[in-house]
Amino acid sequence: MPSYTSLVPSSEAINELLARYGVRFGIYKNNTFKEQLFPFDAIPRVIECDEFSYLERGLKQRVRALNLFLRDIYSRKQIVKDGVIPEDFIFASGGYLAQCEGVLPSKGIYSHISGIDLVKGKDGKWYILEDNLRVPSGASYPMIARELCRRSAPKVFHDIPVADNRNYAELLRRTMDHVNVGGINVILTPGRYNSAYFEHSFLAEKTGAYLVNGSELSVEGDFLYYNTADGKKERVGTVYRRISDEYLDPMNFNPESLIGIPHIFDVVRKGNVALMNAIGNGVADDKGIYYFVPKMIKYYLGEEPILSNAPTYLPFYEQDMKYTLENFDNLVLKDVAEAGGYGVVFGNKMTKEQKADFITLLKAEPRRFIAQEVIDFQDLDIMDEGRQVARKADLRAFVLTADEPMVWKSGLTRFSRNPDSFIVNSSQGGGFKDTWVLSR
Partner 1 sequence: MGIISIEQADHILWLGRYTERVYTTVQLYNTYFDSMIDGVGKSYPEFCEKLDIPNIYESTDDFMHRYPFDRDNPDSIICNLLRAYDNAIVLRETIGSESLAYIQLAIYDWKKASENPAPLMETQKLIDHIMAFWGITDDVIDSEEVRNILKAGKRIERVDLFARLGMPPKSILREIHRLCPRVEKSSLPYDASKLIRLNELANNDKIDYYEIVREVESIF
| Beta carbons within 8 Å of 238's beta carbon, 6+ residues apart | 176, 177, 179, 180, 181, 183, 185, 186, 273, 274, 275, 276
Asked if 229 interacts with partner 1 (CB under 8 A), we say yes
232 counts as binding partner 1 under rule CB under 8 A:
yes
What's the rounded Cα separation, in Å, for the pair 325 and 174?
48
Among 42, 135, 145, 209, binds partner 1 (CB under 8 A): 209
* Cβ atoms of 14 and 7 closer than 8 Å: yes
**Contact by Cβ (8 Å): 163, 142:** no
Q: Does 182 bind partner 1 (CB under 8 A)?
A: no
Among 51, 177, 234, 379, binds partner 1 (CB under 8 A): 234
Q: Is residue 271 a contact partner of residue 181, using CB atoms and an 8 Å limit?
A: yes
Query: For partner 1, which residue of 36, 227, 421, 428 counts as binding (CB under 8 A)?
Result: 227
Nearest to partner 1 of 20, 387 (CB atom)? 20
Question: For partner 1, which residue of 148, 212, 274, 284 counts as binding (CB under 8 A)?
Answer: 212
Stretch that binds partner 1, among 13-21, 66-74, 304-312, 342-350 (CB under 8 A): 13-21
Tell which one of 4, 210, 317, 358 touches partner 1 (CB under 8 A).
Answer: 210
Of 147 and 384, the one with the shorter C-beta distance to partner 1 is 147
Contacts of 192 (CB under 8 A, 6+ apart): none
Residue number, 191 or 311, with CB nearest to partner 1: 191
20 contributes a contact to partner 1 by CB under 8 A: yes
In the list 53, 75, 215, 388, the residue contacting partner 1 (rule: CB under 8 A) is 215
CA 424/CA 411 separation, integer angstroms? 14
Rounded distance, CA 177 to CA 183, Å?
10
Continuous segment of H or E residues that includes residue 212: strand 210-212
Amino acid making up residue 412: L
CB of 8 to partner 1, least distance (A): 24
Nearer to partner 1, 89 or 198 (CB): 198
Q: Report the residue number, 34 or 192, with the smaller CB distance to partner 1.
A: 192
What residues numbered 184-203 form the site for partner 1, per CB under 8 A?
184, 191-192, 197, 201-202
Residue 208 engages partner 1 in binding (rule: CB under 8 A): yes
CA dihedral 93, 96, 101, 106 (to 10 degrees): -140
- Rounded to an integer, what distance in angstroms lies between the CA atom of residue 178 and that of residue 401? 9
| Binds partner 1 (CB under 8 A): choice among 29, 30, 230, 420 | 230
* Shortest separation between residue 270's beta carbon and partner 1, angstroms: 24
Question: Is position 258 an interface residue for partner 1 (rule: CB under 8 A)?
Answer: no
Please choose, out of 205-213, 303-311, 323-331, 411-419, the segment that lies near partner 1 by the rule CB under 8 A. Answer: 205-213
Residue 273 contacts residue 219 (beta carbons within 8 Å): no
**Phi/psi of residue 105, nearest 5 degrees:** -70, 165
Q: Find out whether 23 and 141 touch, Cβ atoms under 8 Å.
A: yes
Angle separating helix axes 318-326 and 352-364, nearest 10 degrees: 180
> Out of 19, 258, 356, 390, which residue is the one contacting partner 1 (CB under 8 A)?
19
Which residues contribute to the site for partner 1 (CB under 8 A)?
19-22, 184, 191-192, 197, 201-202, 204-205, 208-213, 215-216, 226-230, 232, 234
